[in-house]
Chain A
Amino acid sequence: MSLFSRFMDGWRKYRKPGYYDEFDYHWTMTIDLDKCTGCEACVTACQAENNIPVVGEDEMAKGREMQWIRIERYWEGEYPNAKLSFIPMMCQHCDAAPCETVCPVGATYHNQDGLNAQIYNRCIGTRACAVYCPYEVRYFNYYDHEWDSPLEQQLNPDVTVRGKGVMEKCTFCIQRIRQAKDVAKDDDRRRVQDGEMQPACVQTCPTKALVFGDRKDHESQVYKSMNDPRNYRVLDELNTDSSVFYLKKVDA
């Protein structure tokens, strides 16, 4: 192979998200804003599943709250004709993620499942990813957080407890994905079936507004949902190629 064609091969590979020619799975979420009531059950579920610290009043007042998924509230119009809409916002797992290119140590990268993964013990805390992220969904551990007894007993053993100086964000509950893949592998090396695993937020959503699955499986619920005519992606004009699709709220 000539030097030039090797270079061009490398270049083409470089242009692909996470250097992968093809993802094994392509995990995707859709959020039906027509169904979302803004109850914040997903926020609580996420907090419990992923060992997200409760920062306390003072830190909250400083604007250092940690919620991997948050409900953004937007008001339209003036009282009494005000209209409130919700939009749950979490890491969009962009396939062209601005945060991945900027991390000097490669602590955030694209994995073979199309997920934007964060390696906590590689992170040196430059916080550049949080600046580059247009969705503002990366949260920084300003301190070592503590859980008041007996709350430390309910920490999820499958998830790392992050120390000070580390960036964290939504992982699409990667521990559940890994587990489902392990089970599927042990079970005659089959693929993970649709609905076999769900992230905590999807599992908890009382109105089933959140749908999660593999985009590559064209029979999956999420594939159908993301091709709904109401679909859009937040800040799509930035070409982040995100993996979270929102279904627009239709006014009656």
Chain B
Amino acid sequence: MHRPMTTETFKLGYNDIHDDVVRSIVKTGPKYYIALATAGGVTLLCFFFPWSYQLYYGIGAAGMNHPGVWGTYLASFIFWIGLSHSGTLLSCVLHLTNSSWRKAMYRSAEAMTLFSLVVAATYVMVHVGRPWFIHWAVPYPNQMELWPNFRSPLLFDVMAIATYITGSTIFIYMGSIPDFAAVRDRTSGWRNTMYTLLSLGWRGTDKEWHRLHWAYTFLAVLIIPLAVSVHSIVSWDFAMSIVPSLHQTIFAPYFVVGAIYSGTAGIVTVMFVLRKTMGFEQYITKLHFDNLGKLLLVLSLIWTYINGVELFTAWYSGTSEEYEALGYKLFGYYAWLYWEMILFCAVAPMLMFSTRFRTSFVPMLILSIAINIGMYTERFLIVATSLSRQYLPDAWGTYVPSPVEISIMVGSFALFTTLFLIFVKIFPSVSMYEVKETMATPKMEPAAPAAGSPA
């Protein structure tokens, strides 16, 4: 039963929401299958195939060399961790501040968090030289009584990310239980079985709602410091070294802000796509783009400030190695990338001072993609420029990514898309019960043909 789309916001009944969301799960058009096949195919071809090649021949398939032992793999890892940030974090903050505009978008934002983290964790395996021994970085009791090195920021990293993945998974799952139940009541066959299992016997009693709300708020409070700590710890991988231009105390806030920045931009992109492809025009509106635009603007200003601080600290240190690294960053081999980053992440976002810009969908989409290109560049530069100019001039060098690395980078986006495409067919990608909370109680109208019982 297709309802004609109107441009008015939330002139919907409770049932319409169920219809729209359940339709997005159950009704699968050929376009979806084409998209899934393309994304899956690209993932296999560009991600898993080059990776297997690299596993077989060794990590020399990538472009890393002697001073530049870290490359795009690590940059991509930080990028994906960063992209994961806004989802759950933003959702938690907005939940606690009772921002009702969050409710239509948070499910897909949280899914973004989860899948970015999955891609990031995969990148760790792509990055290390012997991924088949990666479990050694996890503290587990063993007969050799060998433990990982608890002083290592890389170990903190493993723990922080594992905790964050666990926390975000529980958070998105718990928030979806009432919606699983709603879908369960409107589907049949294997879907019904699946949603029966997923909804954990949800009946919608007062007690259940009370406990869900309590646990949800509890987790939201828990996840906010977690999200901040994750990226601080990722930044310590760099800041705890004594490499000039990495050894800076500003790195933890720098990374956290950068992460939220790129994550918010990522949400804008994903929301635009969802709105167009899933027919969610009524749920994701100009209001959301306006608010996210304001948030992006503030974040871009903070990010620009921290970048200034970074340059100033290097200059103020007065040491020759910091000067060298600073000059190399601004005018060296990778300088064009630096200025591209400044253009995309510091200059272009100034457009969002205009309300008209913030409420236009396509310009916001373009800007959000530009910001994420800039932020990827930032991560690449942190790795590449710093390692190229360290203490001993004899060991200076440049690092250029190899085709295998570029292919895996492209493939990681396809992997993310594939996971997301599977997600939209399993999870109700708009939180039905919370959208309903924002609506006025529907008026009784002359009986329409019944389309299933409400949850």
Residues of A within 8 A of B (CB): 59, 62-65, 70, 72-74, 89, 98, 101-106, 122-128, 130-132, 134-136, 139-144, 164-167, 234-235, 238
Contact between chains at B243 and A101 (CB < 8 Å): no
Instruction: Say whether B136 contacts A122, CB under 8 Å.
Output: yes
Q: Are B152 and A142 in contact (CB under 8 A)?
A: no
Residues in B neighbouring A102, C-beta threshold 8 A: 152-154, 240-241
With A102-B153, A125-B130 as known contacts, state yes or no: A63 contacts B67, CB within 8 Å: yes
Whether the Cβ atoms of B60 and A72 lie closer than 8 Å is no
* Contact indicator B393/A74 (Cβ below 8 Å): yes
B310: shortest Cβ distance to chain A, in Å? Answer: 18
Q: A62-B63, A124-B136, A143-B58 are known contacts; what are 17 more A-B pairs with Cβ within 8 Å?
A: A59-B60, A62-B65, A72-B392, A74-B394, A103-B152, A106-B146, A106-B147, A124-B131, A125-B59, A126-B129, A127-B128, A127-B129, A136-B67, A136-B394, A142-B58, A142-B59, A142-B64
CB distance from A77 to the nearest CB of B (A): 16
CB A191 to nearest CB in B, in angstroms, measures: 30
B134 closest partner in A (C-beta) = A124
A126 pairs with B243, CB closer than 8 A:
no
B242 near A141 with CB under 8 A, answer no
Closest Cβ of chain A to B138, distance in Å, is 9
Which residues of B in the span 90-139 have a Cβ within 8 Å of any Cβ on A? 127-131, 133-134, 136-137
Out of A124, A130, A166, which one reaches B69, CB within 8 Å?
A: A130
Answer whether residue B351 sits at the interface, using C-beta atoms and an 8 A cutoff: no
Is residue B155 contacting chain A, with contact meaning CB distance below 8 A? yes
Q: Which residue of B237, B241, B394 contacts A73 across the interface (Cβ within 8 Å)?
A: B394
B128 near A165 with CB under 8 A, answer yes
Chain B 146-169 near chain A by CB (<8 Å), digits 1 or 0? 111101111101100000000000
Asked if A140 and B129 make an inter-chain contact with CB atoms under 8 angstroms apart, the answer reads yes
Chain B residues numbered 150-208 whose CB sits less than 8 Å from any CB in chain A: 151-155, 157-158
- With A and B bound together, what is the CA distance between A152 and B313 in angstroms? 52
**A164–B59 CB distance below 8 A:** yes
Whether A104 contacts B158 by the Cβ 8 Å rule is yes
Find out whether the CB atom of B148 lies under 8 angstroms from the CB atom of A131.
Answer: no
In the complex, whether B26 has a CB less than 8 A from a CB of chain A is no
Chain B residues in 8 Å Cβ range of A125: 59, 128-130
Known: A102-B154, A132-B241, A238-B242. A124 touches B128 (CB 8 A): yes
- Docked Cα-Cα span, A70 to B134, in Å, equals 31
Q: Is the CB of B59 within 8 A of A104?
A: no
B316 within 8 A of A: no
* Distance, CA A37 to CA B65, complexed state (A): 28
B35 to chain A, nearest CB (A): 36
- Which residue on chain A has the smallest CB distance to residue B402? A62
Instruction: Tell me which residues across on chain B come within 8 A of A142, comparing CB atoms.
Output: 58-60, 64
Of the candidates A64, A124, A140, the one whose C-beta lies within 8 Å of that of B133 is: A124
Docked CA distance A104–B137 (Å): 6
When the two chains form the complex, which single residue of B70, B130, B147 contacts A166, counting CB atoms closer than 8 Å?
Answer: B130
Is B395 in the interface zone, CB < 8 Å from A? yes
Query: What would be 27 A-B contacts, judged by CB atoms less than 8 Å apart?
Result: A73-B394, A104-B136, A104-B149, A104-B157, A104-B158, A105-B136, A106-B146, A106-B147, A106-B149, A122-B146, A126-B154, A127-B64, A128-B152, A128-B154, A131-B70, A131-B241, A132-B241, A134-B242, A135-B391, A136-B391, A140-B64, A141-B58, A142-B58, A164-B129, A164-B130, A166-B130, A238-B242
Docked pose: A139 CA to B67 CA in angstroms: 9
Closest A residue to B237 by beta carbon equals A128
Q: Which 8 A-B pairs have the closest CB atoms?
A: A125-B129, A165-B129, A142-B60, A63-B65, A164-B58, A136-B395, A72-B394, A104-B154
Q: Which A residues touch B387, using CB under 8 A?
A: 131
Determine the distance from Cα of A167 to Cα of B130 in the docked complex, in whole angstroms: 11
Residue of B nearest to A64 (CB): B65
Which residues of chain B are within 8 angstroms of A123 by Cβ–Cβ distance? Answer: 129-130
Closest to B135 in A: A124
Give the complex CA separation of A98 and B147 in angstroms. 19
A106 vs B149: C-alpha distance when bound (angstroms) = 5
Q: Closest A-chain residue to B319, C-beta based?
A: A237
Contacts of A166 in B (CB 8 A): 129-130
User: Are A105 and B66 within 8 A (Cβ)?
Assistant: no
B129, B134, B136 pick with most chain A CB within 10 angstroms? B129
State whether the Cβ of B390 lies closer than 8 Å to any Cβ in chain A: yes
Q: Are A63 and B153 in contact (CB under 8 A)?
A: no
- Cβ–Cβ < 8 Å partners of A128 in chain B: 152, 154, 237
CA distance in complex: A101, B67 (Å): 20
Interface membership of chain B positions 50-88, coded 1 if the CB is closer than 8 angstroms to chain A and 0 otherwise:
000000011110011111111000000000000000000
Report the nearest A residue to B397, measured CB to CB: A63
Given contacts A65-B66, A89-B394, contact A124 B151 (CB under 8 A): no
